Structure 1
């Protein structure tokens, strides 16, 4: 199973369209997880054209998306429990806010966004993963998204471009 992980697309904005490398992965995916900040309903619908989409609302998402999407959710695939949250808020780091969002949930991985900074680290026995942004890298030298592969074991990695 191939799961594409993306966040902070912010389209339209700094980027005008999804990068070709991301589009290729989306076409090959079994599931897409988006950590929020699509920006518009049209971008959300574009992701849905690629296949099954699990998304959460981000802090810059339109009122339509705010009424459509939850702030956080848990999805389970092949025994792996994945929490998804944008991670915005006040005080603490984005990583700590993401971790706290699932204090009560028994999850293996937490997907989050907001900072646009790729992140992959275990904290309190849970893997926190921020895919970065495929369209708004801010001061970083690269754009990025993630791919989670679930076979007998699971692995998660960033793709940089």
Structure 2
């Protein structure tokens, strides 16, 4: 199973369309995970044309998205347990807020966004993963998103980086 992971698309403010570097991966995805800050429902409407979309809300999302999604989801795909949240809030780091939200859950991967900073690290056997942003790289050198490939109990998760959001 191939899953595309995005966050912080901030559309249409930061881009009018999905980046060309992202769309071929969406075309052969089995699912899409969005870790919040979509901005408006047009992002969901575009993504769901490619594959089923699982997501959470962020701090800049319109009301429609807050009615459709929650701040936290727990997914089990094959035998991989995935927690997803945006990571916004007050105090602590984005990473720490995300971990605190899932402190009572046994998960393999924790996906979050908010900082726009790509991250992949092992924390006591759990992978912390921030895909970065495909449309708003802020101070990063490149735009980015994530790919998760699951084969029964094993998985690989990685970033894809690119230079243009067009």
Q: TM-score category by the smaller chain?
A: over 0.9
- For the residues of structure 2 that align with 1:104 and 1:10, how far apart are their CA atoms? 30
1 CA distance for matches of 2:122 and 2:100? Answer: 14
TM-score (norm. length: structure 2):
0.94
Q: Match of 1:24, SS?
A: helix
What is aligned with 2:155? 154
Q: Distance in 2 between matches of 1:68 and 1:79?
A: 26
Structure 1 residue runs of 5 or longer lacking an equivalent are: none
Alpha-carbon separation, structure 2, partners of 1:160 and 1:17 = 18
Over aligned residue pairs, what C-alpha RMSD do you find? 0.9
Task: Give the alignment's TM-score, normalised by structure 1.
Answer: 0.97
Deviations 1:62-96 (CA, angstroms, capped at 9, x unpaired): 01111221100011111000000000000000000
Count of aligned positions: 161
Aligned counterparts of 1:151 and 1:126: Cα–Cα separation in 2: 17
1:104 match: secondary structure: coil
Task: Deviation per CA, 1:79-134: give whole Å up to 9, x if none.
Answer: 00000000000000000011111111111000100000000011232111000000
Using the TM superposition, give the Cα deviation of residue 16 of structure 1 relative to its aligned residue in structure 2, in angstroms: 1.9
> In 1, distance between residues paired with 2:25 and 2:99?
27
The secondary structure found in structure 1 opposite 2:115 is coil
Deviation at 1:151, TM superposition (A): 1.8
1:26 aligns with 2:26: yes
